Amino acid sequence: MYICLSAYKSGVKGCFWGGIFGFIWTICVKTMGDIFFMGESVYVIFINVLGVYINMPISHNILKSDVRVYFEKYVNIGSKILDIGAGVGTYSKLLRDMGYKMDCMEVWLPYVVEYKLNELYDNVIIGNVMNYDICNYDVIIMGDILEHLSVQESLVLMDVIERNKQLCLVAVPYQLEQGEYYGNVYEIHKQSDLTNDVMLSRYSNLNLLFKSNCYQYGYYINRGGYYNNDMQCYVDDINNVSDRLHINKIQNKFVEYVNDGGGVIDVRLDIYDGINLIYAHNISMVPKVHYWSSVNNDSGNKLKYVFSGEGINKVYVC
């Protein structure tokens, strides 16, 4: 039986008590080092003791659909997945409807309660990943986690993952400083210097999966590089990872795209129905402006979208 505090909004009072409760929880985790579980086999009792509203910094949704594509293509549906630092349950909401079974680990108990992680995951592990054996999992997700660990802790964790021969997906914000948040010292960024170059040089086991310059955010994988942009399509040819052209949405007959870089880029879009070219367009794309193209597709066939330009080679079929 596990006892947690139920949480609800109560303004300043909630923030104050959230900080007090968070401080107590931090001391308990640091001094006791215990790991707690909440899962389908455990009855969880929520006791409404304090009027606490828990808040946390939340990352944007950029590139999340790419993650779905990657999992659909490369991650076996029977894989045992651990989401480290689950927060609001982003990756459960993103992947579980595809049929994946997922456990999560969260060091900050108030997040577990506020965001009802026991309802989003098969099992919830409350504790610090540096004190827990993760060898029983096939896939490790660390979304917005690495920056909260020291370089030494991260290198140790990466070494464990490689020795376990686990697939590891890492997402990080670039050059983002962050301090303690509502009493949660685990929100402090210990690696606020991260950039794509720093990630690739500091963590030699990781390859760039995809990234956004506009949002200063990147995904990395400890396997061969891969790049895609929408869950509705599959890649017909190998893409170059482009720092500039980002496909926001693509489906049969319609595509939306944006210049994710800092200057104007010249892009050509060719759309094919089989071997027949049915659309061709050259455009000088200014930064952060969304462009779209559409065609009639009376044949009902899948269409091939080919984006080309300097350093750009993206091919999608849907």
pLDDT for residue 302 = 81
- 282 near 238, Cβ under 8 Å? no
- Its sign, for the CA torsion 34, 40, 45, 51, is positive
Tell me the pLDDT band of 263, cut-offs 50, 70 and 90.
confident
Fold of 57-221: Rossmann fold (3.40.50)
Alpha helices in 75-229 (DSSP H): 90-95, 109-114, 117-120, 151-163, 196-202
Cβ pair 105, 132 in contact under 8 A? yes
Q: pLDDT: is 209 or 7 the higher one? A: 209
pTM of the model: 0.60
Range of lowest pLDDT (8-17, 59-68, 214-223): 8-17
CA 95 – CA 81 distance, rounded (Å): 10
Mean pLDDT of 144-170: 95
pLDDT above 50: residue 11: no
pLDDT at site 227: 41
User: Residue 40 above 70 pLDDT?
Assistant: no
**Residue that the structure tokens 């870089």 belong to:** 261
- Those residues whose C-beta lies under 8 Å from the C-beta of residue 201, and which sit 6 or more positions away, are none
Instruction: Indicate whether 65 pLDDT > 80.
Output: no
> In whole angstroms, what is the distance from residue 219 CA to residue 149 CA?
17
Could you read off the pLDDT of 186-240 as tens digits, one per residue?
Answer: 888 999 999 999 999 999 999 888 777 777 888 999 975 444 433 234 343 444 4
Domain ranges, ordered by start, for the chain: 57-221, 234-317
CB count within 10 Å of CB 289 equals: 9
Q: What is the pLDDT of residues 134-156, one digit of tens each?
A: 999 999 999 999 999 999 999 99
Do 57-221 and 234-317 share a fold?
no
Q: Where are the alpha helices (DSSP H) in the chain?
A: 11-32, 64-74, 90-95, 109-114, 117-120, 151-163, 196-202
**Distance (Å, rounded) from C-alpha 77 to C-alpha 99?**
7
> Which of 15-19, 183-187, 310-314 shows the lowest mean pLDDT across its residues?
15-19
Ramachandran assignment for 216, one of left (phi > 0), alpha (psi -120 to 50 degrees), beta (any other): left
pLDDT computed for residue 55 by the predictor: 60
pLDDT at residue number 59? 65
- 234-317 is classed in which CATH architecture? Sandwich (2.60)
Name beta bridge partners: 220.
170, 208
